[in-house]
Amino acid sequence: MASSLLLAAVFVFDLIAFALAVAAEQRRNTASLTEDSAGRKYCEYDSDIATGLGVGSLFILVASQVIIMVVTRCLCCGKAMRPSGSRSWAICLFITSWVTFIIGASCLLAGSVRNAYHTKYRDLMGERAPSCETLRKGVFAAGAAFIVLTGITSELYYVSFSKANNGPPPYARDSGVRMGNL
């Protein structure tokens, strides 16, 4: 049977990662164009807390995925699962959880890197204002959405994996061919 304690721990990790990703989306950088005493324009960025929130969310998401994969031995390093519907579901959910994990981690990593980038360009000629580039809206939100999908699929994968490993034997009697009875 699936461990309720493990499912609760993974759920809490995914919930924290989701909350950090939503907070990163709300606190991403904004920039304003200001002018110094010499009349040159430059970009002034506010706090950079969204980068730390995004990286924290990424690390917690990775920890959650590692916990599930260590317990299930990553589907391939352990005893063979019994043929059943649970095995088919476990394989499909294993693949789905990795795809959603990679997309979610990519969104969080790209959002954190892009949010940390500040243009250092200063208009020396005074003719054009520098472009104050910031992170597009929705990158951390997409990461948060994929965190939820990863959490759901990885927990369902663990439950299906447990059912496939702990179920009854597939055959109740010997199915071998006896040559001595001929």
Positive/negative CA dihedral, 108, 112, 115, 118: negative
Categorize the per-residue pLDDT at 60 as very low, low, confident or very high, splitting at 50, 70 and 90: very high
What is this structure's pTM?
0.82
Beta strands in the chain (DSSP E): 31-35, 41-45
CATH code for the structural domain at 4-166: 1.20.120
* Helix, strand, coil percentages for the chain (3-state, nearest 5): 60, 5, 35
Residue 181: is its pLDDT beyond 80?
A: no
Categorize the per-residue pLDDT at 93 as very low, low, confident or very high, splitting at 50, 70 and 90: very high
Q: What is the pLDDT of residues 100-158, one digit of tens each?
A: 999 999 999 999 988 887 666 555 555 566 677 777 889 999 999 999 999 999 999 99
- Cα–Cα dist 41/43, whole Å: 7
Chain centroid to Cα 155, Å, comes to 13
Exposure b/e, 132-169, CB count within 10 A at least 16 = b: bebbeeebbbbbbbbbbbbbbbbbbbbbbbbbbbeeee
* Domain extent listing, the chain: 4-166
Closest CA to 40 of 130, 128, 126, 127: 126
